[in-house]
Structure 1
Amino acid sequence: MRNLHVGAAQLGAIQKNDSRASVVARMLALLEQARTRGCELVVFPELALTTFFPRWYMPDPAEVDTWFERDMPNAATQPLFDFSREQGIALSFGYAELTPEGRHFNTSILTDRQGNIVGKYRKVHLPGHVEYDTERDFQHLEKRYFEPGDLGFPTFANEGAIMGMCICNDRRWPETYRVMGLRGVELITLGYNTPSINSQRRTEGQQQRLFHSQLVMQAGAYQNATWVVGVAKAGVEDGFPLMGGSVIIDPNGFICAQAAGEGDELIDHVCDMDECNFGKTTIFDFARHRRIEHYGPITAQTGVER
Structure 2
Amino acid sequence: MARDLTIAVCQTSPIQKSAQRAETVDRLIALLERAAAAGAEIAVFPELALTTFFPRWRIDDQAEIEAFFEPAMPGPQTQRLYDAAARLRTGFALGYAELARVDGKTRRFNTMDLVGQDGKLVGRYRKVHVPGSSEPEPGTTVHLERRYFEPGDLGFPVFSYRGVRIGMAICNDRRWPETYRMLCLNGAEIVLIGYNTPLLLDEAPALAHLRMFHNHLPMQAGAYQNTVWVAAAAKAGIEDGQALIGGSCIIAPTGEIAAQAMSLDDELIVHRADLDLISVCRKVNFDFAKYRRPDQYRLIADQV
- The alignment's TM-score, normalised by the length of structure 2, stands at 0.95
Partner of 2:133: 129
Matched, 1:293 2:298: no
Task: Report runs of 4+ in structure 1 exceeding 4 Å deviation.
Answer: 297-300
The alignment partner of 1:99 has SS state of strand
The answer to whether the 8 Å contact 1:2/1:160 transfers is no
Q: How does 1:188-207 map to 2 (within 5 A)?
A: 188-205=191-208, 207=209
Q: Distance in 2 between matches of 1:69 and 1:243?
A: 25
Amino acid at match of 2:146: K
Residue 259 of structure 2 corresponds to residue 278 of structure 1: no
SS at match of 2:187: coil
Q: Output the CA distance in 2 between the equivalents of 1:184 and 1:298.
A: 26
Query: Do the aligned partners of 1:45 and 1:232 also contact (CA within 8 Å) in 2?
Result: yes
* Displacement of 1:160: 1.9
Give the 3 Å change call, closer, same or farther, for CA 295–144 of structure 1 in structure 2: farther
Partner of residue 120 from structure 1, selected from 108, 116, 124:
124
TM-fit CA distance, 1:280: 2.9
Q: How does 1:214-293 map to 2 (within 5 A)?
A: 214-293=216-295
Q: Structure 1 residue 174: deviation in Å?
A: 0.2
Give the root-mean-square deviation of aligned CA atoms: 1.8
Instruction: From 145, 149, 168, give the equivalent of 2:148.
Output: 145
Which amino acid is the alignment partner of residue 93 of structure 1? L
1:180 is the counterpart of 2:183: yes
Match of residue 42 from structure 1: 43
Residue correspondences, number: 300
CA distance in 1 between counterparts of 2:301 and 2:107 reads: 26
Choose from 164, 167, 174 the match for 1:161: 164
Corresponding letter in the other structure for 1:241 = A
The residue number in structure 2 matching 1:61 is 62
1:279 and 1:27 map into 2 onto residues whose CA distance is 34
Give CA deviations for 1:66-114 in whole Å, capped at 9, x if unaligned: 1100000011111111011111001101000000231000000101111
Gaps of 5+ in 1: none
Give matches, 1:206-217, under 5 Å. Answer: 207-217=209-219
- The 3-state SS of whatever aligns with 1:181 is helix
Amino acid at match of 1:124: V
1-side partners of 2:157 and 2:168: how far apart? 8
Matches within 5 A, 1:72-87: 72-87=73-88
Three-state SS of the structure 2 residue aligned to 1:295 is helix
1:2 paired to 2:3? yes
Distance 2:43 2:300 in 1: 34
What's the CA shift for 1:196?
0.2
Cα 1:283–1:31 change in 2 (3 A) is: same
Q: Residue type matched to 1:295 in 2?
A: Y
Q: 2:114 corresponds to which letter in structure 1? A: L
Partner residue in 1 for 2:174: 171
CA distance in 2, matches of 1:297, 1:61: 49
Check conservation: 2:33, 2:88, Cα contact below 8 A.
no
With structure 1 as the length reference, what TM-score do the two structures score? 0.94
Contact 1:182–1:286 (Cα < 8 Å) also in 2 = no
